[in-house]
Amino acid sequence: MTLAGADNGIRYRTIEEFVKKKKLGEVLRDRGKISAEDLLQVVSEQQAKMLHLGELMLERGLVKKGDLAAALEEVSHVPYLDCSEVVPDPEAHKISSTCYSRTLLRLPIRMEQERLVVLWLAPQDLGKLDELRFSTGMEISPRLAFRSEVLKAIAKYYWWQRMGNHIQAQL
């Protein structure tokens, strides 16, 4: 079963799985990747910050990137894609220049059949997913990514857009 019946990369095997989502900390604790004490500490610290829990765990060295990515995939049912291993397809960018976004932390990567594959920090934001679907006229296939990875990829592959904005601001 896929969310809303669309093949958008968000998958649930059963309706029960869709209704009862596991929490990231629970998955990592159950897998023995973080202690209950460390989890409680990072959860209380995270409440005062504007960071995702997983990113804070990674930043503190409490979990390994691969373990966190696997747990995030289980919780969100969205596949993880390491930004350092991809080169965005220019055709994907042509379809939606508005898709590239430093504020929403998303980056178009490629076309797969009739879907636009997008690296995204928060692909579970169904409202933003629907907005992008509407603006592109395409189905969106999100991929999880970490904040630092998305920002590096945007800086690496879309530097020319920043330069254009900088030059335009100087005129």
Indicate the domain borders of the chain: 3-76, 83-170
The pLDDT assigned to 79 comes to: 93
Question: Distance (Å, rounded) from C-alpha 110 to C-alpha 137?
Answer: 15
The pLDDT assigned to 39 comes to: 93
Q: Are 107 and 119 in contact (CB under 8 A)?
A: yes
Within 10 angstroms of residue 31's Cβ, the number of other Cβ atoms is 13
B/e letters for 109-144, b = 16+ CB within 10 Å, e = fewer, are bbbeeebbbbbbbbbbeeebbeebbeebebbbbbbb
The pLDDT assigned to 2 comes to: 43
Q: Which residue has the tokens 């080169």?
A: 87
Tell me the sheet residues that pair with 110. 117
Q: Which is it for strands 106-112 and 115-120: parallel, antiparallel or unpaired?
A: antiparallel
What's the rounded mean pLDDT across residues 129-149?
A: 87
Q: Is the pLDDT of residue 78 over 60?
A: yes
By percentage, how much of the chain surpasses pLDDT 90? 27
User: CATH code for 83-170?
Assistant: 3.30.300.160
The pLDDT assigned to 87 comes to: 84
Question: Distance (Å, rounded) from C-alpha 65 to C-alpha 34?
Answer: 13
* CA 162 centroid distance within chain: 22
Give Rg (Cα) of the chain: 17
